[in-house]
Amino acid sequence: MNSSPFITRNKPSGNSNKKGNLRMKILNRNFAGYLIANAMIKLGYTKRAKQKLLNGNYIICLCFHTPSKNLFESCVNWLSKNGFQFISMKDLEKISKGELDFPKGAVIITADDGWQTNYESIVPVAVKNKTPVTIFLNPGIVENGDAYWWSYVSAANRQKIINQSAEYYKGLENEERVQKINEIAAQVKLKREALTIEQVKELSNTDLISMQSHTISHPILPKCSDEKSANEITGAKKIIEGWTAKPVTHFAYPNGDYTQREMTTLANNGYTMAFTTNQRYITPGDLKQPYTLPRLLILEDASFEENICRMMGVWKKKRK
């Protein structure tokens, strides 16, 4: 079990004050989270939430990004040992249509972006435990072999090329953001971060791993023009279906951002469900609004105690 509040995904070297300060900030944040989560567990918050979920009409939908194998396996094992059952997106579709009863203690697992690390950290655990997983993929990044755009921002900050955060770039209109990221990428060299096309095809051949849409290039959709937003949504579907020969009907909004325009595009182009980063359980009422389904975000850098609280929905601060 990953119970250490001091584990971080990226360990900066000690020869940079900026990196050292960032690492200390993460450690302090994680330690504070660990203490709060421990208190919540001891005070019975997670126990009461667990009983509510196992006995009521609620479905947990978890969102991972780049978990370690240890964290992902710990989450799966904890849920299994505490009486939860894993269901697939196909099951959720049947539940929404009334073809299956609304289950007690059901969990859906999703992973956003299609990170290369998912191949070694998520897939073996899913196969071993027969756990369905949906990976929301950015096929443009898969195809180009690039890093994700916010990784270029982080690297440029570490190299003191820029001093703006990813949040600053998320606020820009899409064309301006793309131009600035391209300028950064010309100065910063990063390795592939996404799955390969071959891996996508391989994983889609199993019944456990479903490859679905997260746009082509992970833009902030409300910052895109009408044409760009539509192309990102419809184009990703076509590309992934071409690779996998399987229908793409589920979608996750990049950064959790969307407008009515995006929901309309999804509905008009064969998508049946879309997922947000609104942190709460899925209820029967939510299934009547299938383009705004909530998910609970797992924080890969946090202590396992904090992530227990996140899985049970008692840790609800939104993380974009």
What pLDDT score was predicted for residue 9?
A: 43
What pLDDT score was predicted for residue 11?
A: 40
Domains and CATH numbers, the chain: 17-146+192-311 (3.20.20.370), 148-191 (no CATH)
What pLDDT score was predicted for residue 23?
A: 66
Per the DSSP assignment, residues forming a β-bridge with 242 are: none
What pLDDT score was predicted for residue 6?
A: 40
Q: pTM for the full model?
A: 0.90
Angle between helices 197-204 and 226-244 (to 10 degrees): 60
Q: In the chain, which residues have pLDDT < 70?
A: 1-23, 25-26, 316-320
What pLDDT score was predicted for residue 22?
A: 58
What pLDDT score was predicted for residue 19?
A: 58
**Could you tell me whether strands 133-137 and 106-113 are parallel, antiparallel, or unpaired per DSSP bridges?**
parallel
What pLDDT score was predicted for residue 32?
A: 87
Question: CB within 8 A of 274, min separation 6: which ones?
Answer: 250, 251, 252, 253, 258, 262, 263, 266, 290, 291, 292, 293
Instruction: Measure the CA–CA gap between 172 and 298, rounded to whole angstroms.
Output: 27
Percent of all residues in the chain with a pLDDT value above 90, rounded to a whole number:
87
Instruction: Measure the CA–CA gap between 148 and 145, rounded to whole angstroms.
Output: 9
Nearest 5°: CA angle at 65, between 40 and 137?
Answer: 145
Instruction: Measure the CA–CA gap between 217 and 113, rounded to whole angstroms.
Output: 9
What pLDDT score was predicted for residue 28?
A: 79
What pLDDT score was predicted for residue 27?
A: 76
